[in-house]
Amino acid sequence: MITGAASGIGRECAIRLATRGIPVVLADVDEAGMARTAQLVEARGGSSLIVATDVTHDEDCTALVEAALRRFGGLAGGVLSAGTARHAAFLDLERTDWESMLAVHLTGAFLCVQAMARAMVASGSRGSLVYVASSVAAGLGPPRQAHYVAAKAGALGLVRAAARELGPLGIRVNAVSPGFTRTPMNDGLFTEEELRARAQNAPLGRVAEPADVARSIEFLLGPESDFITGQTLHVNGGSYMP
């Protein structure tokens, strides 16, 4: 199950999983974008289910999981990639902007993790959940993103807390924390000059592509990582080395 599946990292995850023959449930508010993702999945011989989902709504998250169970009979993993990004100077940041950012990135993650984990527990299955965080949570982002930074940092705390409680139930919870990644969400937020500067500041000399992040997510979903939980995997070309 992939939230934020209409574009960017979520879409790339769907495509990679499809090439391995893994059915995917695509969740997003952008139905046209999901339709395009579904076409790309089908072109690689995969199968998918589209479910229009607003992760900030409890009922949408519950309906998403129920639809997946009806179609595929079970749930083995989840990618929490739904997101939005807007810039605002700290002193100009409106409370509505603050709350909407936390609603998507933090509350939405909680609602989806809870709904997915409940389904796994009910079926007695093991599973892996991966949250798409951001290097901004470590203070590496540009200014004018206080609400985004706070939401991503809070979500990393949620990942650790969920991993501790769900581990005994056979469910792993981890995060990937990308550096700047070329995605539609970031289009228009940064100039080409800013992108070049970010690439130059990374030891590997470039910014991330969605495929870079999706490969790491695929690893955390799979059996090769079955003794890893509560961790954050940094995918940033060396721009942050904790």
Query: Half-sphere exposure of 31 toward its Cβ, with a 13 Å CA cutoff?
Result: 3
Residues 99 and 148: their CA atoms lie apart, in Å, by 10
Burial status of residue 3 (CB atoms within 10 A of its CB: 0-12, 13-18, 19 or more):
buried
The DSSP result for 119-157, as a single string, is HHHHHT--EEEEEE--GGGGT-S-SS-HHHHHHHHHHHH
Query: Would residue 131 show up in a list of annotated catalytic residues for this protein?
Result: no
| C-alpha to C-alpha distance for 205 and 221, rounded to whole angstroms | 28
d(CA 23, CA 95): 39
Neighbours of 241 (CB within 10 A): 7
What is the residue whose two structure tokens read 């500041």?
201
Q: Output phi, psi for 173, to 5 deg.
A: -135, 120
Catalytic residue of the set 112, 148, 175, 221: 148
DSSP E strand stretches across 54-101: 77-80
Instruction: Take residue 63 and report the two structure tokens written for it.
Output: 């309906």
Positions marked active-site: 148
